[in-house]
Structure 1
Amino acid sequence: MKHHERLTEADYEALANLRYSIRRFRKFSASEADKLGLQPQQHQALLAIKGLSRGEQMTARLLSERLLIARHSAEELLQQLIDEGYVDAGTPTSGHTKDVIHLARRAEDALDLLASAHLFEIRKMAPELMQALRVLQDREKMQSIAWMI
């Protein structure tokens, strides 16, 4: 913990609302993934692969970093996705020594459905998320201005 500061009631309310919104979104996301027969972590892995920056290649190591999980857990997750036909482990390119992961058509189709539903939900939740963040951001602005005076 860097700073210990006194929080206002508005800060606590904003933090609580933000965390509540995140929990609601995670529950929504898990439910949507389940409708397609995916575990939440499988969905997150597919999204991490699909959302990788152009020119980057997904490996088990990179997936473990993106999902904040242990390397062996990422390897097990990838093996599940390979076994279920969502991803393929291709041949290494550009000097990579590890298998490069590619999405199969099944994963692309599932992501199209899930991304659309998630984007709709995010847009619906955006006003309350932005309000909570605005309250917390204003607090930070006020503190930085106080240091300048």
Structure 2
Amino acid sequence: MPDRKGATDKQRYEALSDFRYQLRRFLRFSEDAARAEGITALQYQLLLHTQGFSGRAWATIGELADCLQAQPHGVVALVTRCEEAGLVERHASATDRRQVEVHLLAAGRQKLARLAALHAEQLTTLDEAVRIAASIRG
């Protein structure tokens, strides 16, 4: 039965299916692109999220854990691997000594720039799927 906007259950399912398909394609692309750069998808996400906070070019372990939807101890291990790869470095916070800031190094900035450019091209397809799925909510 159509809703107020005229969408049937079948149309909603088709839109949601296409959205999930496009989302998985995007994630697979991201995994493959990161691997081609010699890092994991999680390492790419960590690099990206260190730059994702307005007004600063670093993130705390807690913030990264939230962005990655991971436990802080797992993020500490991920930061350690990125540090060993020469992508990031840790700094004690100047304002709160209990917090650790994660900063990108030059190699991390270069990998992030290359990967972000590749991802931007892929977002167009995903954006279209999101708009269609959102337009026929039920």
Query: Is TM (by shorter chain) over 0.5?
Result: yes
| Structure label with greater radius of gyration | 1
**Root mean square deviation, CA, Å:** 1.7
Query: What do the CA deviations read for 1:21-45 (whole angstroms, capped 9, x no partner)?
Result: 1100000011111110010011011
Correspondence 1:109 to 2:106? no
Name the structure with the higher strand share.
2
* Residue deviations 1:96-115 (CA, integer Å, cap 9, x gap): 42221100011110111111
- SS of the equivalent of 2:59 reads coil
Residues in 2 aligned to 1:109 and 1:55: alpha-carbon distance in whole angstroms:
18
Per residue, is there more helix in 1 or in 2? 1
One-letter amino acid of the counterpart of residue 84, structure 1:
A
Matched, 1:53 2:57: no
Equivalent residue number for residue 43 of structure 1: 44
CA contact (8 A) 2:90 2:100 kept: yes
Are residues 63 and 23 of structure 1, via their aligned partners in 2, closer, same or farther at CA, if it must alter by over 3 Å?
same
Unaligned runs of 5+ in 2: 1-7
Kept in 2: contact 1:89–1:102 (CA 8 A)? yes
Alignment of 1:5-16 (within 5 A): 8-16=9-17
Structure 1 residue ranges (4+ consecutive) displaced by more than 3 angstroms after TM superposition: none
Q: What secondary structure sits across from 1:58 in the alignment?
A: strand
> What is the one-letter code of the residue matched to 1:26?
L
Secondary structure of 1:101's partner?
strand
Quick check: 1:72 aligned with 2:73? yes
Note the residue ranges of structure 1 that are not aligned, 5 or more in a row. 1-6, 140-149
1:49-76: CA deviation from partner (whole Å, max 9, x where unpaired): 1112225852212211110001111110
Q: TM-score, normalised by structure 1?
A: 0.81
What SS does structure 2 have at the residue aligned with 1:95?
coil
